[in-house]
Every structure is written in structure tokens, then in C-alpha cells.
Amino acid sequence: MTLTTRTVAAPVVPSSSTLTPLGLDEVTITGGFWGERQTVNGSRTLPHIEHWLEREGWLGNFDLAARGGLPEGRRGREFSDSEIYKYLEAVAWEIGRVGGDSALEKRFRSVVDRVAAAQEPDGYLNTRFGRPGQESRWSQLEWGHELYCLGHLFQAAVARERTSPGSDDGLLAVATRSADLVCEVFSDSGIRSICGHPEVEVGLAELGRVTGTQRYLDQAALFVERRGHGTLQDHEWGRSYFQDDVPVRDADVLRGHAVRANYLAAGAMDVAVETGDTGLHDALARQWDRTVARRTYVTGGQGSHHQDEAFGEDWELPSDRAYSETCAGIASIMFSWRMLLSDNDARYADLIERTLFNVVATSPSAEGTAFFYANTLHQRTPGEASADDEISPRASSSLRAPWFEVSCCPPNVSRTFASLAAYVATVTDRGIQIHQFAPATISTILPGGGAIALEMTTHYPRDGVISVRVVDAPAEPVTLSLRVPKWADSATVSFRPASGTNEDSDVGPGYAAVEKTFAAGDVVELSLPVQPRVIHPDPRIDAIRGTVAIERGPEVFCLESVDLTDSLGDDADVLSQIELDLSVDPRETPEGIAVALRSMPVGGPGDGRSSTATLVPYHSWAERGPSVMRVWMPVADHSN
């Protein structure tokens, strides 16, 4: 088959798929929950990241490489090059998002020049391997991350080429030189192995798509097929850590390191789509289902183990030891988005929304300059604040930290926020689908012909009304589909034409489709029941038996100790001793959701004392100093 190279300013552009993605030049988030985060990302987070990349010397490693100063002066972990590439990707999307920014453009080019200067004549690019005094190239496939780093380089080059096609900065040439080397070295007549950290697969697939190079996609397919046959060395955590235990097409569930597992699944889905491999597609869909049913937190977070940053077994979802790495959430969105483009099933967009609001939005502080690496669902002790100017040695701090020894999460959040508009809507021949809700403008040419322009206004998730006004539409019928989340058990969709009769109908979860010959001024309005909901866990999850969580719209709420109206017993231990009293309905207030509590019967003087508290959205926790917090709350037994 031949790769088509349609230029869409979006991270994932399959040659063909059920849903066609839209680019950052076609969709703009204009405000609201996500718009604010995009603004902070551009104004605060990007400079913050560049500052730390310089300060820690990870960017300087490229300069040292260029002038022969390695290995002596090298700083950072073996994968630090990748943070520069993720940063470049974020900047590329940001330039695309704002429609050009000369200062940002200058910074981008300056970093690209430093990276390019470190590339060796044959295309090899890594500051950690291959020089005299360093371990030799490709000698540490399990832990060396060389291919992983290149995967991120490829994604950066793809972002740049899609947002600034034909730019003369040279990044695409750097990427293709490295990709050509990878294809040569890792062909079936070369090193028949894989990288300990999947990522090069998605990078090669998209680089293949953007440049029309079938060879890159073939190499991605080779990497996907090679995995799962015990190629990599066994170790304490087992080969499942890098998904080298079972071939992708034979596996039933995601397992091992949660970021690795999702990056691999995303890359495998790219391969399945480009090769029309339904067996591979079905295996991935099956893995997605079981992973979401049995190995995913209510927040959308994935990864139950701190030790190996890995999935646990089925039903192993401890709140207090939830690792739920920010990057695993982002990786899960990458996987789900590819499934959504292929299958047009709302459950994929539902999980993306859940993960965006409750994992990705949780990581950065409101200022955009401190981050959660792990996202626990139950913080038992207040913990210590990280100093603003100190690197955090701890991935699982109870407060956000400005930077980490392993600092994958900040640039990963940044590239996701900068490219977020690409996840809002898709098109089909004669249809347009809205998957995520935010104030936004959408303007594109439908694949089946005809310009369409929409304006979405909403205060979502604060309330549930999403109003889509038609600005321009073809003269023929078009189907406008709006996602109705699974939790929306009483949604309605209304068609309010500029002239004519309003039509209202109740809609169930999935996509509410309105097929009309639209005219400018027509409005389609979706009303979702954004009210407090009590969530009961699956009885097979031991860690949260006898508890409930409270959700409202797409947001999971939490009880934070600073929001207790009065003390219920031992202060340091207060959230271990409370129960939710469900004889009083959770009630919405301007501050959050008011609930009734009482203290547990633990043989203390305060047993059974009643109180109240206000729950706040989980993504906003830990913004008011050290505190304890829990998402799942024990339920009082009324027979006592």
C-alpha cells in the first residue's frame, strides 16, 4: 500500500481511518477549563521547562557532544535527551496553536541547532552512548533508551513538519537521518532486537506518515512483532516490565510498566491501521477493554506499583499506593485516541476525557511550574513541600515539585496541552464529531466536500450545557455528532434552527447525532446532567471495598483535610477515621460538593461524631499547602 501524506497539524494522522483528525489550524480552544491551561502552558510551563533543561545540563549535553566534551561532562539520566525532544515537540505545537510566535520560533531554532550539532555523520544521535569512554551504541537495549529517545525526536519533527510544513530549521532532516540509521541497524539482517522502552514505534509510524516513507512504518511493524518473545534480558521485575513476555497480538491485557505498555499499544495500533491487520487491532481492543475494566483507577490513572511503575494484577488498585504516573495517563490517551480514530466508539473518548480531567490536569500546579509525577488517590500524611529551586529526588511526593531527576512528566504534559485542540473533534465524509467539550472554534473542509465552521460555547465541566453554533455549513445534509458520556443518564440534545421549530430529544450514552442541512446561526445544544453522583466500586477491588467516590460531570472529587469544617479526632490521622454518611445526599455548593461525615467507631471519645465537609475536584488538590486527601471514602453502616 501507499502512504498518503495529508498534512494535518495533529499528532496522529493515519493514511485512512474511520474518523479523520483535525489539526490545530482547524480547531482552536478559545477559553474555559482547557483554554486557561493552554495559556499557562505557553506562558509559564514552556519557559520553566527550558530553564530546567539548561540548569540541569541536559541541553548542555548536546553542546558537549558537539565539541567533544563527552563523556566527562555529561549530566542527567540515560534518557535525558528525550526531554529536550518532548520540549521541542511542545514548542512546535505551541507555535502551531498560536499561529506563529517569533520569540518562540527563535528559541525553537536555537535548540534544534544545538541538537543537530550533536548528530554524528551516519545519523546516530544520543549523548550517552557510542563515544570513547561511553558504552557502545545499542549495547544496552534493555535500559539504554537510545531508540526511545529517537522516538521522541521523531515525534518532535512530526509536530514541526505538521505545524510549519517545509520549515528550514533542519529538524526533519535530523530525524530522517536517524530514522534511516535505525532502519539499517535494526533490519532483520541487523540487530533483531527492540528497545526496553517502547516509543520508537509511534515515532517511526508518524514520521513515515508525514514523510511518506513506507520503510519507517515497516520498521515500526518489525519492532512491534519482535516484542514478546523474551528478546530482552530477564530481571527482578520480569520481562513483562517491558512487555517482552507475550507478543502484542497474543496478550489479553496491558501489563508491566504502564507508560511502556501504552506507548507500545499506541504504536501497535498505528501498525494495525496502516497494514489493515484486524487481528492486531482486535487484540489491542481486547487489551484496552480488560485494562480499563480491571486495571484502571476511577481517575483514569494507570499503574498500581511504585516499585516498577507498573500495572498490578486485575483488581489490584490501591488508592494509597496508586502510582498513576502522569505520563501513563498521557500514554493511555495516545492509545485511546488511536482506537477512537479507528473504531468511532465513545468509550475511548470517555476514557480520554476522564484521564484528561483527573490525571493530566492534576499534574501541573495552577501556575504551571510544579508537577505531580505520580497521582495518588489517597494521601495519608501531609508530606513536605519541595523547594521551588530544588530538583525532587522523589517521584511520589505529596506536593507538586518543580522538577525531578526523572523529569518526563513536565514536558509530556506540556506537549499534550499544546496539542489538545487536536483531540476535540474529527470529521467523516459528511459528518463532524465532537468528542471533547470546550469553548472552541472549528473550521474545516469535510472530506466529502464542503466547508463547515462551528463555534462551541460552554462552561463545562462547571455546567452541562454545550452549545454548538453553526457559522458555516455545506448546502447538503451534514451529521453533527456530540459525545454523550457514559455517566450521562439523562442527557438531551436540542436543535434550535436560526429559523424554524426547535427539536428536543433525550439521548443515551454514545454519540448524539443530528443530521440536518445546517444554516449559519443554527444551534445544536447538548445538556448533560452535571450533578454529584455516588460511585460504587466493583466488588472485586479489595482496596476500596466498602467505600464510594463522588463524581460530578467528568470530574472526580476528593476530600482534602483543609476542607473539613471541624476536627474529627486525631488530626494527623483524621482521614483514616471518617465515614461518609449517605443518609444525607451530597449537595452542590459554590465551593464544591458538601457531604455529611461521621467519625468511625474506633473506641475513641469522638466515635460517631457528625460533621460536614466540602469535596473539591481531585485535579485541584494540594494547592493549599500540605494536606491529607482521599478520593474513595468509607461508607457509614447505618445499622450501627
Per CB under 8 A, residues contacting its own copies are: 234-238, 305-307, 312-316, 318-321, 378, 380-381, 393-395, 405, 538-540, 542-547, 573, 576-577, 600-602, 632, 634
Whichever of 4 and 381 has its CB closer to its own copies, that residue is 381
Kindly give the pairing relationship between strand 547-552 and strand 610-617. unpaired
Whichever of 283 and 374 has its CB closer to its own copies, that residue is 374
* H/E segment holding residue 226: helix 214-226
Whichever of 306 and 516 has its CB closer to its own copies, that residue is 306
CB of 320 to its own copies, least distance (A): 5
Integer-rounded Cα radius of gyration of the chain: 25
Q: Where are the beta strands (DSSP E) in 226-330?
A: none
The contacts of residue 55 (CB under 8 Å, 6+ apart) are none
Whichever of 504 and 573 has its CB closer to its own copies, that residue is 573
- Write the Ramachandran bin of 205: left for phi over 0, alpha for psi from -120 to 50, otherwise beta: alpha
- Write the Ramachandran bin of 344: left for phi over 0, alpha for psi from -120 to 50, otherwise beta: left
CB of 324 to its own copies, least distance (A): 15
Are 477 and 519 spatial neighbours (Cβ–Cβ below 8 Å)?
no
CB of 306 to its own copies, least distance (A): 4
Whichever of 416 and 577 has its CB closer to its own copies, that residue is 577
The contacts of residue 269 (CB under 8 Å, 6+ apart) are 281, 284, 335, 338, 339, 342
Are 63 and 126 spatial neighbours (Cβ–Cβ below 8 Å)?
no
Whichever of 101 and 316 has its CB closer to its own copies, that residue is 316
* H/E segment holding residue 289: helix 278-294
Whichever of 178 and 375 has its CB closer to its own copies, that residue is 375
Distance between CA atoms of 411 and 327, rounded to whole angstroms?
10
CB of 632 to its own copies, least distance (A): 8
CB of 401 to its own copies, least distance (A): 12
| Bond into 461 cis (ω within 30) | yes
CB of 492 to its own copies, least distance (A): 28
CB of 546 to its own copies, least distance (A): 4
CB of 235 to its own copies, least distance (A): 6
The contacts of residue 67 (CB under 8 Å, 6+ apart) are none
Whichever of 389 and 506 has its CB closer to its own copies, that residue is 389
Whichever of 320 and 585 has its CB closer to its own copies, that residue is 320
CB of 89 to its own copies, least distance (A): 27
**Residue 633, CB-side half-sphere exposure with 13 Å CA sphere:** 32
Distance between CA atoms of 157 and 527, rounded to whole angstroms?
40
Q: At what angle do helices 102-117 and 46-55 cross, to 10 degrees?
A: 30
